[in-house]
Homo-oligomer: A and B are copies of this chain.
Amino acid sequence: MDDAAAARGEKLSSGNVNHLIDSVDCFLFDCDGVIWKGDTLIDGSKEALDMLRSKGKKLVFVTNNSRRSRSQYAKKFLSLGIPVTQDEIFSSSFAAAMYLKLIDFPPAKKVYVIGEEGILEELKLAGFTGIGGPEDGKKTAEFKANSLFEHDKSVGAVVVGLDQYINYYKLQYGTLCIRENPGCLFIATNRDAVGHMTDLQEWPGAGCMVAAICGATEKEPVVVGKPATFMMDFLLEKFKISTSRMCMVGDRLDTDILFGQNAGCKTLLVFSGVTTPSAFHDPSNHTHPDYYTDKLFDIVSLM
């Protein structure tokens, strides 16, 4: 292998797979594009996870998808035949709630949610009052003369994630809170442009809704999901494992691989999701994992 190739990372092979596995105690996985696509398991990902568990590796699932809570994610794993405990899951919905805990957000204040059930559920578990979300998906905002669009002045934070039921009502509500409630926080679960919300194609991600609120408020959010380090800091505090003994496995350069690198983890890129081999090898790409391979199952087949 020449130097240029080494700088781009090593292709996973029978020559280096055992070294990777032996040098890591904890594997962090992105889910969408690594374990599954939409509701379809990616071939061999269950076998790969089973093999790593059999070798005593700790597994953690770190997902930017905020639509579900951790318990809803555990159910999804189980429905795909993979037993996972809630403690092994770090979703950006959970991260948003943990961020508010960490900064001592006053529980008397409310949180307006542009997003889905998962965020509301995690907020509730953390002791916060979330409003908006799916409930506001059917509301409309009409431009009527002499009628004021009212918003709750006690909202102290707006959390924005992927929202399949985004509408003008929610955009106006969130915008008013951020623009008019003094000190109101603007928190983004993540800024992924698109994601494999179904197995056959990509859909606009939370980055779409977050950008819409940036566009209307002219403010930038605090991001709690990948590639921001918030989830990793939380995770390290909880598991006390050195990041040099961790490996982040993901399908996205701009979230997963950056997230792993920002924390000092090893990184493994898989081509079963968003990043294509041609985009990865393009000279314009400057994010390089330690290893790359087609799909998670390769760590089994190459052993």
Contact = CB atoms under 8 A, between A and B. Distances in A.
B201 A149 contact: yes
A209 interface: yes
Interface in A133-182: 141-149, 163-168, 171-172, 175-176, 179
Given A168-B164, A191-B215, A209-B212, A143 B198 contact: yes
A17 to B, nearest CB: 32
B164 A166 contact: no
Interface string A43-81: 000000000000000000000000000000000000000
Contacts of A145: 38-40, 198-199
A212 B208 contact: yes
Contacts of A197: 143
Contacts of A141: 164, 203
Interface in A177-203: 179, 191, 193-194, 197-203
B203 A217 contact: no
Nearest to A167: B167
A218 interface: yes
Number of copies: 2
Nearest to A148: B200
A210 interface: yes
A200 B147 contact: yes
B172 A204 contact: yes
A216 interface: yes
A132 interface: no
B168 A165 contact: yes
Contacts of A9: none
B171 A168 contact: no
A39 B5 CA distance: 63
A205 interface: yes
30 contacts: A38-B145, A39-B145, A141-B164, A142-B164, A143-B197, A148-B200, A149-B198, A149-B201, A149-B203, A163-B168, A164-B168, A165-B167, A165-B168, A166-B166, A166-B167, A168-B204, A171-B208, A172-B204, A175-B208, A191-B215, A193-B217, A193-B218, A194-B216, A204-B215, A204-B216, A205-B216, A208-B216, A210-B215, A212-B212, A212-B215
Interface of A: 38-40, 141-149, 163-168, 171-172, 175-176, 179, 191, 193-194, 197-205, 207-218
